[in-house]
Amino acid sequence: MKKTDRRLWLVWIALVVGGLLLLSACGGNADEYPQSALDPAGEYARKTDHLFKITLIIAAIVFVFVEGMIIVAVAKYRRRNNDERPKQTHGNTVLEIGWTMLPALVLAVLTVPTLSLVFELADVPDTSDRTVPIASLGAEEPLEVTIIGHQFWWEYQYPQLGIQTANELVIPEGETVVTNVTSVDVIHSFWVPRLAGKQDAVPGREVPLLIKADVTGEPTTYYGQCAEFCQLSHANMRAHVVAMPAADFDQWVQEQQQLAAAPTGGDAAAGRDLFFGTGTCSGCHVLWDDDHAPMDADGNPAVDPADRSMIRTMAGPNLTHLFSRDRFAGDIFELNSQNLHDWIRDAPAQKPGSIMPYFENLTDGDIDDIVAYLETLK
């Protein structure tokens, strides 16, 4: 074998082995690959996956056919000795018409399931056949959630329920959730691969995206992340969805609708004064308690949670129930007092490009007080 031949073989072997390794990274189970669109866990994600598989099979047939023809052509019409030139041909009308028509035909066939799925995914289903009643929602009412991208975290507003939260999207399992995806700054993209397709979050537009998680009978977590480069901490903008049985969801709604209680003394009370006072935290963060109750659209205190008007331009997450969540700051850090302290001390050092600034005027003691206060926000 000539030296160049051997090198060529090595390249081929490397490509095949590398390709197989790459393929083995796809699929797999949810524990190892929690963000695999190939392991759907809901009706809509499953429909998209089904279409993907149809496309993949057709593509595989085309691939094998075309590559097979190439191999046959290379072997059959190769130059056999140095004296002879292979037979030269120019143009073949039948072939050319054939390889123009055939791909057009393949695409036309694929258009049918693609278009029908596009319409299907935009069709909000009837919820009157709900098997398990959800106390916090009317029988004929699907749950609506506005998903808002921020640099660098996701906000979730539940307009029917007066809930505003971040990082963790809580939904009832087995239910179609009608989300409206938007952004307040740059373009982000909301993607929880096991539950739904990828949806760009574009400022000034609300784009519907239907989400549904399978019934598992217990709270189940699905992971996702921002899928559109949105500045320095784009990679630090994750998300997770918790799908709960109806009773757990109702309980969660009840808790989230409560206002926070003001601590009566100690470090936490001092921390609260800092939070709403010189700490300037409340300049960017909403925190609902008796003294800072949510308003309705007319600027009066909203008695019914459903009347709460939710502002879109607030810089940071609503902290009323901070400690009902596991993680913070774009789902990056585990929520505990040490991590919170580090965050409030110097957010940009924890997360590059953070909109939350460094606070020169706060001492470490001040921050301990603030953390003590935040820990009361269950």
117 binds ligand HEC, rule: CB under 6 A: no
Binds Cu ion by CB under 5 A, chosen from 178, 213, 226, 287: 226
CA distance 320 to 290: 11
Binds ligand HEC by CB under 6 A, chosen from 315, 348, 368, 377: 315
**Strand pairing partners for 171?**
243
Burial class (CB in 10 A: 0-12, 13-18, 19+), 141: middle
Binds ligand HEC by CB under 6 A, chosen from 281, 302, 310, 372: 281
Least distance to ligand HEC from the beta carbon of 315, Å? 4
Nearer to ligand HEC, 33 or 323 (CB): 323
Residue entry with tokens 């009566």: 264
Partner in contact with 166, chosen from ligand HEC, Cu ion, none, beta carbon below 5 to 8 Å by kind: ligand HEC
Residue 87 CB partners (closer than 8 Å, separation 6+): 77
Partner in contact with 226, chosen from ligand HEC, Cu ion, none, beta carbon below 5 to 8 Å by kind: Cu ion
227 binds Cu ion, rule: CB under 5 A: no
362 binds Cu ion, rule: CB under 5 A: no
Q: Does an H or E element contain 102, and which?
A: helix 93-120
Residue type at 238 in one-letter notation: R
Helix (H, G, I), strand (E, B), or coil: what is residue 329?
coil
Site for Cu ion (CB under 5 A): how many residues? 4
Nearer to ligand HEC, 196 or 344 (CB): 344
CB contact at 8 A, 304 and 162: yes
Least distance to ligand HEC from the beta carbon of 153, Å? 4
166 binds Cu ion, rule: CB under 5 A: no
Q: Which stretch binds ligand HEC (CB under 6 A): 19-27, 95-103, 172-180, 279-287?
A: 279-287
Nearer to Cu ion, 230 or 268 (CB): 230
Nearer to ligand HEC, 44 or 152 (CB): 152
Chain CA centroid to CA 337, Å: 27
148 binds ligand HEC, rule: CB under 6 A: no
Which of 247, 227, 249 minimizes the C-alpha distance to 238? 227
Binds ligand HEC by CB under 6 A, chosen from 47, 238, 321, 351: 351
The Cβ-side half-sphere exposure at 372, using a 13 Å CA radius, reads: 18
212 binds Cu ion, rule: CB under 5 A: no
Which of 318, 40, 352 minimizes the C-alpha distance to 168? 318
357 binds ligand HEC, rule: CB under 6 A: yes
Q: What are the C-alpha distances in Å from 330 to residues 9, 217, 333? A: 47, 27, 8
Burial class (CB in 10 A: 0-12, 13-18, 19+), 9: exposed
192 binds Cu ion, rule: CB under 5 A: no
Footprint of ligand HEC (CB under 6 A): 152-153, 166-167, 233, 275, 279-281, 283-285, 315-317, 319, 322, 328-330, 340, 344, 351, 354-357, 359, 370, 374
